[in-house]
Amino acid sequence: MNSELQARVALFASVEGGHTFWSSEISDFGALEVYQRVCEGAYDPIKHERVIARCRAANPEQLLHQILQTGSSFLTPADQSWPQTLNELVAPPIGLVIKGDSHLLSRRSLAIVGTRNPTPYGVRIAGDFAAGFVDREWLIISGGAYGIDSAAHRGALIAEGETIAVVAAGIDINYPAGNARLFTEIAENGAIVSEVMPGERAIPVRFLTRNRLIAALSKSTLVVEAAFRSGSLRTARDVAELLRPVMAIPGPINSPTSEGCHRLIGERAAEIVTSVADAVEFVSSL
């Protein structure tokens, strides 16, 4: 193998996203050299047994064809449309599978995240803020899940804007299944992004690694409703580590779905916002 692209897709299919060791190796030596060293047995055969076995069995041309068959493209740091903000991560992605317009990844965007079990209040707020930012020519990013994510994507689409879903499964797997139609609309009016090969199922760790991509791609993140212990709070921490602003919507003091937002506000980890105008003014002043 003598192609950086071929080596990168082989590593992409072999290494779980967000792996700091392999990201560092690829950053230091390049994908082609790392791939060759993996196949030649230069790395610990016990510690890295799974990656070595997968790399040696990989057929890069077949992997690229598998991506193209889903109507997607394989984006790498060598591509002009690669969003440079991803390089700020401790473990930048080896590559990304994109269905839709990859140039949108570098557009000015707001991430809207929150619980999968929102109240009607949360659904309305997520949709209203998404539409409000779209009207001001922002793009909306979320995770494609039920609840606040779906409300944010729909709010952007209803306002005739563009939205990006960063998913935890393969690009060809509608997860959750009930959002199949929504994913089709997102791909047509924005993009779907995945850090795993087509056909890969969503597993718990992939939701956490997916969250860092949402944080890195957006200029700011808005948490609408989140429980006291919530994946959305993890996203907010990822955002803070990148020195990006976090905003949170307050809710009723006795609402479990607002406990996470109140925690962020109370710890001064997020700016309290109560209107689209407040939020736009806050992020525009930074």
What is the model's pTM?
Answer: 0.95
Q: Which two tokens stand for residue 111?
A: 């991430």
What is the predicted pLDDT for the residue at 106?
Answer: 94
Tens digits of pLDDT across the chain (286 residues): 569 999 999 999 999 999 999 999 999 999 999 999 999 999 999 999 999 999 999 999 999 999 999 999 999 999 999 999 999 999 999 999 999 999 999 999 999 999 999 999 999 999 999 999 999 999 999 999 999 999 999 999 999 999 999 999 999 999 999 999 999 999 999 999 999 999 999 999 999 899 999 999 999 999 999 988 777 888 888 888 898 999 999 999 999 999 999 999 999 999 999 999 999 999 987 7
Distance CA 73, CA 183 (A): 16
Instruction: State the pLDDT at residue 273.
Output: 97
162 membership: H or E segment, kind and range: none
> Tell me, what DSSP letter sits at residue 275?
S
For 79-139, give the DSSP string.
Answer: STT--GGGGGSSS--S-EEEEE-GGGGGS-EEEEE--SS--HHHHHHHHHHHHHHHHTT-E
Beta partners for 271?
A: 247
Cβ atoms of 214 and 142 closer than 8 Å: yes
- In the chain the domains, ranked by start, together with CATH numbers, are 1-69 (no CATH), 103-284 (3.40.50.450)
- For residue 1, the model assigns a pLDDT of 54
Please report the sign of the dihedral spanned by the C-alpha atoms of residue 284, residue 146, residue 231, residue 206: negative
Q: Could you give the CA distance from residue 250 to residue 87 in angstroms, rounded to a whole number? A: 32
Q: CA 248, CA 265: separation in Å to the nearest integer? A: 7
Amino acid at 52: I
Rounded CA-CA distance 122/225 in Å is 6
pLDDT at 2: 60
Contact 165, 142 (CB under 8 A): yes
